[in-house]
């Protein structure tokens, strides 16, 4: 997928069509990069997302995959990375995302713990229960 939509895709092994190595093809031929960019742009505009590039979608896919527990090796294979060092960038992003979410939840928990305790309205002895 590293060559997604580019006409300079690596040659296919004998007996295998070029299109079988790519995610998006047009009758077995690679999709032109400008056609792919235009399709992504139109879809993003319809969704109200503003300007979006195909490469941003790769980043989003990788970040979501790692945040959901997919292994770095599987993500590397999915993205067509030849080495895990390229894929480790997403692990650092995921670590930061996890830390940010942890601290956000911690603040909410602390706020609840520090709030004055009140018995439920229907508890015995409360003024609202009769």
Q: Encoding tokens for residue 103?
A: 């601290």
Give me the pLDDT at residue 15, please. Answer: 46
pLDDT above 90 (res 130)? no
pLDDT digits (tens, 9 = 90+) for 7-63: 334 444 444 444 445 566 778 788 888 888 999 999 999 999 888 888 888 888 888
Give me the pLDDT at residue 77, please. Answer: 92
Give the integer Cα–Cα distance in Å for 87 and 75.
Answer: 7
pLDDT digits (tens, 9 = 90+) for 66-125: 888 899 999 999 998 998 888 988 888 777 777 788 778 888 888 888 877 777 677 676
Give me the pLDDT at residue 75, please. Answer: 92
**Ramachandran angles phi, psi of 30, nearest 5°:** -60, 145
Nearest to 29 by CA among 19, 38, 21, 39: 19
pLDDT digits (tens, 9 = 90+) for 11-20: 444 444 444 4
3-class SS of residue 7: coil
pTM > 0.85: yes or no: no
Give the integer Cα–Cα distance in Å for 60 and 63.
Answer: 5
């Amino acid at each position: 997928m590293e060559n997604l939509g580019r006409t300079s895709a690596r040659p296919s092994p004998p007996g295998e069509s070029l299109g079988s190595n790519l995610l998006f093809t047009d009758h077995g031929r690679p999709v032109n990069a400008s056609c792919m960019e235009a399709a992504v742009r139109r879809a993003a505009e319809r969704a109200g997302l503003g300007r979006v590039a195909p490469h941003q979608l790769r980043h989003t896919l990788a970040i979501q995959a790692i945040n959901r527990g997919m292994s770095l090796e599987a993500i590397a294979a999915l993205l067509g990375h030849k080495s895990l060092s390229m894929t480790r960038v997403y692990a650092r992003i995921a670590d930061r995302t996890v830390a940010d979410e942890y601290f956000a939840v911690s603040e909410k928990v602390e706020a609840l713990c520090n709030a004055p305790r009140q018995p439920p309205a229907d508890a015995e002895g409360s003024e609202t229960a009769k």
